[in-house]
Structure 1
Amino acid sequence: MLQPEDSFKNGEVNHFPPPGTPIEEEEEDEFDYEALPKNTTLASNLMAGAFAGIMEHTVMYPIDAIKTRMQDVNVRGRSYTSISNAISRISATEGARTLWRGITSVAIGAGPAHAVYFSVYEFTKNALGGNEAGYHPLATSLAGACATTAADALMNPFDVIKQRMQLYGSKFPNIGACALSIYKVEGFSAFYLSYPTTLAMNVPLTALNFTTYEALSKLLNPDRKYDPLTHCVAGGLAGAVAAAATTPMDVIKTFLQTKGTSPDPEIKNCKSLMEAARIIYRREGPRGFIRGLRPRIVSNMPSTAICWTSYEMAKFYLYKS
């Protein structure tokens, strides 16, 4: 005999709990992808980071090449007056393909470096409580600093090769020939001479980038849902702020990475960040430290937007699967 709390549905008896019994809500299929799931794998972080890194560095590569030319230690590289002027002159005298010279080095190094970058970032942020509810700028900044320290150790040699191939008059047929030439003439240390400077630039850059991005993301997307437009806007603004603030260190980094091509003995024998800074200041004054500011921002803003959007997209679909 059926009880009052029973009913028929599609020929089956459905049993309902007695009145007053609390009914458990069904689990929702939605998840907060920004907070790492318990079953998140290292492979997911590696793939998402690699995808983001390759997208970031390849799309805006020609503008990065112009930035390198403007920061070149040789006088020739400083004669470009604007981004459009540089594009016009390089295309007319060297060919448009010159703007893509050295991109193979970035393509090879960016994937592994960014895989390490985002994996270390996610692991460290989670360990420091950065994925908990609320805003955690310290955890985010520390996670970003750890991430860039690990990634730059891997990327620095590729960056040196890229810079050398972007310079005016570079005759290297490929990145292998460039790497071999640097090693034979300047030794293995040439690939890491700029590493301390790179860290001095990228640690605050990454801290600013991640902290600004997280703050803007929480402001523009308080529900923390997957939203490509929000990720793009927050990433672009974060990239612009970080690039502008760290341009002086980028000028010094380019100085150290390209000094081997200079005929000037003082420049060629420069061995440290502080020595490079003194040379730049003595010869050009404070303005010397903002060479390439505009193309750096123009390059970094969309590339960072692309990087964050690509990363969030990859993370969303990888974690959802």
Structure 2
Amino acid sequence: MAEEVDYEGLPQNAGLGVHMLAGALAGISEHAVMFPVDSIKTRMQVFTASPAAIYSGVGNAFTRISSTEGIRALWRGVSSVILGAGPAHAVHFGTLEFVREIAGGNEAGNQWLATALAGGSATIAADAFMNPFDVIKQRMQVHQSQFRSFISCATNVYRAEGIAAFYVSYPTTLAIAIPFNAIQYTVYDHLKRFANPRNEYSPSTHIVAGGVAGAVAAAVTTPLDVAKTMLQTRGVSKEADIRRVRGMFDAFKVIWARDGVRGFGRGLAPRVLTTMPSSALCWMSYEFFKAAIRTN
């Protein structure tokens, strides 16, 4: 009788590469599927005086964008995500598993500190790679964007604003991503252990645990995400105060002055709607690819 494969265990001859490849495939799957809702989130978070670019909700945004600009407008910028998401998620999940292992997160019991440390560490490495791709993506997503290709957008931003434009939001990205991933990974890991104590391959468990974890993390970090969107799209804004924003705290001041407390919740619904299924898909894909790769 063949020995049963423990999909959660890491074989000595596979190690980190399995997690990195699974993470890359999961990342591409996650971002590509939910991209239209992410486009709506970006547009709802952008501060603008143009009535044509102000939306009352997800349904309103979807209807107006698809009817006035065509359904393809919701996919504008997806090439940037596909190019960046694979390598970035490979780095993310590789770091995640490596840190969890050395910090003792794979030991019995609830290793809260180890799993939170693993989640936070993973994003520092991954976002350093992904941030420029995210800037390009959002520049292409905004209302009446002049960019239709990844190359033209990247070239234009570099020539007009320099390399700093691709990293002006990196501190804010980390301020979002470190707590986001720490919360998401901790909630996911403990929900998975609670629902699946035998560590068997269970797609339904990964979907539910991943979705809940993503929704909680997305809701908590939405105010920071609004600031990040402002920083990443400031170069295409016609508003003087937005173009002068230089960092997270400048963005907070502008958000507060323009919209008060309500401004920090801009895009909350589409952010949760995007993150909940995409997180569920990402974790399900990650666990599936990890299991599939290792059983071949």
Normalised by the length of structure 1, the TM-score is 0.89
For 1:138 and 1:175, the matched residues in 2 are separated by: 39
Residue 30 of structure 1: aligned partner: 4
Shift of 1:36: 2.4
* Corresponding residue to 1:120 among 85, 95, 103: 95
Residue 155 of structure 2: aligned partner: 180
CA distance 1:301–1:175, shift in 2 (3 Å): same
Q: Does the Cα contact within 8 Å between 1:48 and 1:315 map onto a contact in 2?
A: yes
Structure ranking higher on relative contact order (CA contacts 8 Å, 6+ apart): 2
Shift of 1:231: 0.4
SS in 1 for 2:264: helix
For 2:239 and 2:185, the matched residues in 1 are separated by: 39
Residue 108 of structure 1: aligned partner: 83
Query: Does residue 310 in structure 1 map to residue 289 in structure 2?
Result: no
How well do the aligned residues superpose, as a CA RMSD in angstroms?
1.3
State percent identity of aligned pairs.
Answer: 53
Query: Does residue 286 in structure 1 map to residue 261 in structure 2?
Result: yes
Larger gyration radius, structure 1 or structure 2: 1
For 1:173 and 1:67, the matched residues in 2 are separated by: 19
Q: Does the Cα contact within 8 Å between 1:117 and 1:148 map onto a contact in 2?
A: yes
List runs of 5+ in structure 2 lacking aligned partners. none
SS in 1 for 2:46: coil
| 2:20 aligned partner, one-letter code | L
List runs of 5+ in structure 1 lacking aligned partners. 1-25
Q: Does the Cα contact within 8 Å between 1:140 and 1:211 map onto a contact in 2?
A: yes
For 1:161 and 1:79, the matched residues in 2 are separated by: 21
| 1:103 aligned partner, one-letter code | V
Higher share of residues assigned helix: 2
For 2:192 and 2:252, the matched residues in 1 are separated by: 36
| 2:38 aligned partner, one-letter code | D
* Corresponding residue to 1:216 among 191, 197, 205: 191
Shift of 1:156: 0.2
Residue 32 of structure 2: aligned partner: 58
Query: Does residue 319 in structure 1 map to residue 291 in structure 2?
Result: no
| 1:49 aligned partner, one-letter code | G
Q: Does the Cα contact within 8 Å between 2:76 and 2:148 map onto a contact in 1?
A: no
Q: Does the Cα contact within 8 Å between 1:36 and 1:131 map onto a contact in 2?
A: no
Shift of 1:40: 2.8
Query: Does residue 271 in structure 1 map to residue 238 in structure 2?
Result: no
**Number of corresponding residues:** 295
CA distance 1:88–1:256, shift in 2 (3 Å): same
| 1:136 aligned partner, one-letter code | Q
| 1:97 aligned partner, one-letter code | R
SS in 2 for 1:75: coil
Shift of 1:78: 6.0
Shift of 1:320: 2.6
